[in-house]
Amino acid sequence: MTDATVNPSAPEPAPAGVDSEVGRLRTVMLHRPGPELQRLTPRNNDKLLFDGVPWVSRAQDEHDAFADALRGRGVEVVYLTELLAETLAEPEARDIAIETALTDLDLGETLRLYLRGFLGDATPEDLTIYLTSGIRNDEVRGGFGLVTKLLAFDDFLVDPLPNLLFTRDSSVWVRDRVAITSLAMPARKRETQLTELIYRHHPRFAASPRILGHHFEHVEGGDVLLLAPGVIAVGVGERTTPAGAERFARQVFESGLAETVLAVPIAQERATMHLDTVCTMVDVDKVVMYPNVADTLTAYAVTRRADSDPAGLELEVAEPEPFLVAAAKAMQLDTLHQIDTGLDPVTAEREQWDDGNNTLALAPRLAVAYERNDGTNSRLEAAGIEVIRIAGSELGSGRGGPRCMSCPIARDPAH
Ligand SMILES: NC(=O)NCCC[C@H](N)C(=O)O
């Protein structure tokens, strides 16, 4: 069990639930980067969605400092791999995990049979490592046959998950429900098999209702911004598809989790892979925004038709409006204030690339940001935001900042 559940003197964890981006953060799920990062090479890093080959021990130090900064502000940090190992102690969860990891058609029956037995004998902790770091062809000690001979020594039989670090994308809490997302890129697909397993089988979450699922249309957590209770923006671009945004809207309306979903088209480019790469919230009425897209960013407000039959929910889709205008209207604010990344278009472009926009709010006007983005951080401070700076030279090589690296599980209500 997690420290909080075995230590009788530890405070009760806050009840799971998140209704905004800025309510005081109580519990967050992180993944400390581990041996899965050692799998990255100059030959596979593009496919595995990293822009380089990180120095792993330094990335771990940076991540530990990030977790300490959160704990220092009273946030309970839970680790994905600890939850997974605890989940895998349950035989049913373990069987599902092994079967889903072995569905790859490239494996063949000889290796599959061997690996089923090998993984079946592993401890929950070792199984967690195999499921997250993957298994290479030259690492197996049995199941030898045609497939072993013809695959390269460094081909993966079970793919590693170096992007597990970005816990934001593989699940997202909306009020008291957790949405299991469906990741678009092949390198990340297996991540949500693991988060779904945790939320279904871990005793801490088994009673929490779930929405979406890893086998549905693509929705990634980095595209989902809880602008205010009942108002959710969903980026639609390289990752979340229009159909994913539509399913998300239907489910949050059906479950009474929101009244308005703003579908926000974003350029289908690596630099803007998720909405949270160009815009994050730092106060109830303030966002840090990439100015080079601010003027062109639009939103389609999606609501439930007032006269829609409960059995066949119909959606009303408004004409597009400028994003900040549509957001302020849905949030019932006069203005949603914009703090720009950087001081000029080139600084803004550099700092957007280095995740200057990707802040994690711990409370209104208190945010964690990468230290390297001097221009953006100064602008945030000038606007009254306290910035907790963390190092991210190695973590950033996966192109994700403090928001991407965190999945809030409990926040105080925003109002
Ligand atoms: N929300 C985010 O923007 N997450 C960052 C994900 C980075 C990861 N290397 C990816 O390409 O999916």
Which residue minimizes the CA distance to atom 4 of ligand 1? 404
φ, ψ of residue 385 to 5 degrees: the values are -95, 130
Record the tokens describing residue 315, joined without a space: 């959606």
Interface ipTM > 0.95: yes
56-81+162-410, what's its fold? L-arginine/glycine Amidinotransferase; Chain A (3.75.10)
3-state secondary structure of 98: helix
| Calpha distance 82→57 (Å, rounded) | 19
Q: Which ligand 1 atom is the nearest neighbour of the CA of 220?
A: 1
User: Which residues, 6+ apart, have CB-to-CB distance to 269 below 8 Å?
Assistant: 237, 238
Mutate to test the pocket of ligand 1, among 191, 404, 405, 406 (most ligand atoms within 8 A of CB): 404
Give the number of the atom of ligand 1 that is nearest the alpha carbon of residue 399.
Answer: 7
Indicate which atom in ligand 1 lies nearest the CA of residue 398: 9
Angle between helical axes of 124-133 and 80-87 (0-180°, round to 10): 130
Q: How many CB atoms lie within 10 A of CB 146?
A: 10
Concerning whether 279 is annotated as a catalytic residue, the answer is no
Domain ranges for the chain, please list them. Answer: 56-81+162-410
* Among protein residues, the one whose CA lies closest to atom 10 of ligand 1: 49
Return the ligand 1 atom nearest residue 358 CA: 3
> Considering 404, 405, 407, 409, which one is annotated as catalytic?
404
Q: Residue 170's closest CA among 190, 186, 191?
A: 191
- Which residues line the pocket of ligand 1, CB cutoff 6 A? 49, 163, 166, 168-169, 185, 188, 222, 273-274, 276-277, 398-400, 404
Give the pLDDT of the chain (415 residues) as one tens digit per residue: 344 444 556 668 899 999 999 999 999 999 999 999 999 999 999 999 999 999 999 999 999 999 999 999 999 999 999 999 999 999 999 999 999 999 988 899 999 999 999 999 999 999 999 999 999 999 999 999 999 999 999 999 999 999 999 999 999 999 999 999 999 999 999 999 999 999 999 999 988 998 887 789 999 999 999 999 999 999 999 999 999 999 999 999 999 999 999 999 998 888 889 999 999 999 999 999 999 888 899 999 999 988 766 667 899 999 999 999 999 999 999 999 999 987 789 999 999 989 999 999 999 999 999 999 999 999 999 999 999 999 999 999 999 999 999 999 999 998 7
Query: Closest Cα partner for 411 from 368, 360, 369?
Result: 360
**For residue 91, how far is its CA from the centre of ligand 1 (angstroms)?**
32
- Amino acid identity, residue 389? R
Closest residue to atom 11 of ligand 1, CA basis: 49
